[in-house]
Structure 1
């Protein structure tokens, strides 16, 4: 069946926001004299549990932690780190090729709508996507709900779409929705297990979209 739509995860896939978010958490932990274990970070990538898990872990080491006092500064630091960051290398080529082929585009993210829409606006990508489904409206990954919602909004079946993900949680969500899935890990997730993906690419520049479409047809 011919592919009619592409659905992208946002954080770490369309843009490498993961690095900025991880750096901000590492800085916060170090400000309190604690190191953030990367293996714990790996457990929350692609889910909606990041802040809760990180604050709980920090509270285990430092008494009297007030998440509401720390949260604004952390968010400001993330935005500062992202100011000069664009889409991941090769993403614009994929989006341009998709448009030339008449494919519709969607986003399926565990993050909040405010964050995703804001970042898409910052990157100049907002008008490219017909569907933007987020974790504050639907159950977050690894549940398939954001992907199922994207399929419904785009008006395509799972067999007519391809999902792009950077985390194992995201791959599981897309596969649970029965969507052929391409894993494109970023530097933080590159060491994780993507055995459930139909195709794993080291970057969006590794293969042109035309070849990916042919491989997954």
Structure 2
């Protein structure tokens, strides 16, 4: 089945941001008297802004609202990205290569302000027909809401989209939306085996994200 659109995730796919998010959130929790738990980063991956901010403020710190936490953490992330965007090797090339093949979308758990900042800094914002933050939908990943919205904004049925993801919740989200998924796992944050099994193709790096790879994808796995 030929793809009519390709939808990228941002964090962990185009930028190596998960270590930055973990460092910033961990420091924020510590500075506010909270306790960072061993499974915290895994749980946060894919959550929308409201979801992760509420988790930090309520479960890890206590007594802070989601708005307070989100404002503080996003401000710190903006400062970090203003200094340097942690671009992954081959990211810009992959976006430009796939933009010549099919319309592009982006479905990210990052807040809108950071999506726009990063795409602008990379000089690829004009290549995306639609971008969606999970703060703009009812539920973050692993729910399919973000992927379904970006498909609707592109006017392409979700089963005719191919998603590029790295995390367990991202893989589950795109698959639940009905998209075929290419996994590009990050070694430091590997997806769970059951989530990785949902991928139609597992790539070693972004150099493998090519029109030829997309054209050869099998049907979506059940």
Regarding TM over 0.5, the answer is yes
Gap change, CA 1:75 and 1:148, over 3 Å in 2:
closer
Q: CA deviation at 1:35?
A: 5.3
Instruction: For residues 89-127 of structure 1, give each alpha carbon's deviation from its aligned partner in whole angstroms, at most 9, with x where no partner exists.
Output: 1222211211333x1000112333233223322322211
- 2:59 matched residue in structure 1: 57
Q: CA deviation at 1:23?
A: 0.4
Gap change, CA 1:31 and 1:180, over 3 Å in 2:
same
Residue 94 (1) aligns with residue 90 (2):
no
Distance 2:80 2:144 in 1: 30
Residue 125 (1) aligns with residue 124 (2):
yes
Contact 2:8 2:106 in 1 (8 A): yes
Provide structure 2 residue ranges, at least 5 long, that are not aligned to the other structure: none
- 1:17 matched residue in structure 2: 17
1:162 aligns to what SS in structure 2?
strand
Distance 1:43 1:124 in 2: 31
Contact 1:18 1:188 in 2 (8 A): no
Contact 2:29 2:56 in 1 (8 A): no
TM-score under structure 1 normalisation? 0.83
1:216 aligns to what SS in structure 2?
coil
Gap change, CA 1:157 and 1:74, over 3 Å in 2:
closer
Taking CA–CA contacts closer than 8 Å with sequence separation of 6 or more, which of the two structures ends up with the larger relative contact order? 1
How many corresponding residue pairs?
212
Which shows bigger deviation, 149-158 or 38-47? 149-158
TM-score under structure 2 normalisation? 0.81
Distance 1:212 1:37 in 2: 39
1:98 aligns to what SS in structure 2?
helix
Gap change, CA 1:23 and 1:152, over 3 Å in 2:
same
Distance 1:126 1:178 in 2: 25
Please show how residues 155-194 of structure 1 align to structure 2 within 5 Å. 155-190=155-190, 192-193=192-193, 194=196
Q: CA deviation at 1:68?
A: 6.1
